Amino acid sequence: MNQNIIININDKVAEIILNRPERMNAITIDLLKELKDALLSVNKDESLSVIILTGAGKAFSAGVDLRQLEANGTDVSSGGVGKELDKYANEVIKLLEESPKAIISKINGFCFTGGLELALAADLIYIANEAKLGDTHAILGFRPSWGLTQRLPKYIGIARAKELSFTAKTISGIQAAEYGIALEALPREELDSRVNEIAIKISKNSPNSIRAYKDLYSVASNKGLADGLEYEANTSYDIPEVRERVQEFLKKLR
């Protein structure tokens, strides 16, 4: 039975909750294993269109559980957090990025370092005004190994990303939206309803169209313009529901 992860399903939307509130949802190997299993299950469920990733209590995730690293005797002399933790974290992040579903990170509170790396793997990010966010690797002498240096600059530019990483400063949810990390910052009491509103809007659209968009936007992010244009023009997708949706739309016009 899962202890570190909760899955709530409402119609076409699955909410996956990191559930270690007493430790600010600090990331452990067990949590990552359960998160991986949850994502594998939800990704296969064709009745679901959207995944919301969030945390229980006052945090999205405060990052890697340093007490577990110490207890496990992990060698951190190279600035890493250990091969096993890296393995599961990168598998989880790949499942998020390559999921056929739309992924929303709902940052409800503290979101630091490894937690930020998980959040950045989503398609869309919404954040509470009161949330605190930062890349704190450098405070303790760690270096990122889950893709932060590749993803953060795509959100906010290389200079701003370097500033956040080099200074290890903490920013508010409002600043995260101003920087471009989050699409929108809202009062914490309004965050759930806003994210649910967005998730429901997405879930009403063609799931295979969303799948195609995710693939195409991935190419746009990771290839040059010429390659991206060629890929978009020459790649086909199986979207069987398009005929029914067109007919429904035409009926509304009559």
CATH code, residues 5-203: 3.90.226.10
What pLDDT sits at residue 12? Answer: 96
Nearest to 207 by CA among 199, 218, 217: 199
What pLDDT sits at residue 73? Answer: 86
To the nearest whole number, what is the mean pLDDT of the chain? 92
Please say if the pLDDT value at position 252 is more than 90: no
- CA distances to 7, 75, 124, 250 from 53, rounded to whole Å, are 10, 30, 10, 36
Nearest to 172 by CA among 187, 156, 158: 187
Q: Could you tell me the pLDDT band of residue 2, with boundaries at 50, 70 and 90?
A: low
Q: Could you tell me the pLDDT band of residue 225, with boundaries at 50, 70 and 90?
A: low
Q: 58 is written with which tokens?
A: 């006052």
**Domain locations along the chain:** 5-203, 207-253
Question: 120-138: b or e for each residue (b if 16 or more CB lie within 10 Å)?
Answer: bbbbbbbbbbbbbbbbbbb
Please say if the pLDDT value at position 1 is more than 60: no
Helix (H, G, I), strand (E, B) or coil at 65: coil
What pLDDT sits at residue 114? Answer: 96
What pLDDT sits at residue 248? Answer: 82
Packing angle of the helix pair 158-167, 148-156 (nearest 10 deg) = 120
The string of pLDDT tens digits covering residues 136-177 is 999 988 989 999 998 999 999 999 999 999 999 999 999 999
The string of pLDDT tens digits covering residues 102-117 is 999 999 999 999 999 9
Q: Could you tell me the pLDDT band of residue 32, with boundaries at 50, 70 and 90?
A: very high
**Percentage of residues in the chain having pLDDT higher than 70:** 96
